[in-house]
Chain A
Amino acid sequence: MIGIFCVTKASTDEEYGRHLGKACYVYAGMIGIGVITAAIAIVAELLGMAGISDYMLGIYCGMGSGIAFGGAVLILRNRRLIRDKEKLHKARIHDSDERNFQISNMAVKAALAVLLAGMYLVMLIGGLWYPELPKILLFLVLLFLLSYLAACKLISDRI
Chain B
Amino acid sequence: MKTRIQQLRKERRISQSELADALSVTRQTIISLESGKYKASLVLAHKIAQYFGSVIEEIFIFEGEENL
Contact B24 A99, beta carbon cutoff 8 Å: no
Which residues of B does A touch, CB under 8 Å? Answer: 20-21, 24-26, 28-29, 32, 38, 40-41, 43-44
The distance in angstroms between the C-alpha atoms of A96 and B24, with both chains bound, is 8
Q: Which of B20, B21, B41 contacts A98 (CB 8 A)?
A: B41
Q: Which of B26, B38, B43, B44 contacts A94 (CB 8 A)?
A: B26
Q: Enumerate A19-48 residues with CB–CB distance to B below 8 Å.
A: none
9 inter-chain pairs at a CB distance below 8 angstroms, sorted by A residue, are A93-B20, A93-B24, A94-B26, A97-B25, A98-B44, A99-B28, A99-B29, A100-B26, A100-B29
The size of the chain A interface, using a CB distance under 8 A, is 10
For B21, the chain A residues whose CB sits under 8 A away are: 93
- Shortest Cβ distance from residue B21 to the other chain A in the assembled complex, whole angstroms: 8
The distance in angstroms between the C-alpha atoms of A96 and B29, with both chains bound, is 12
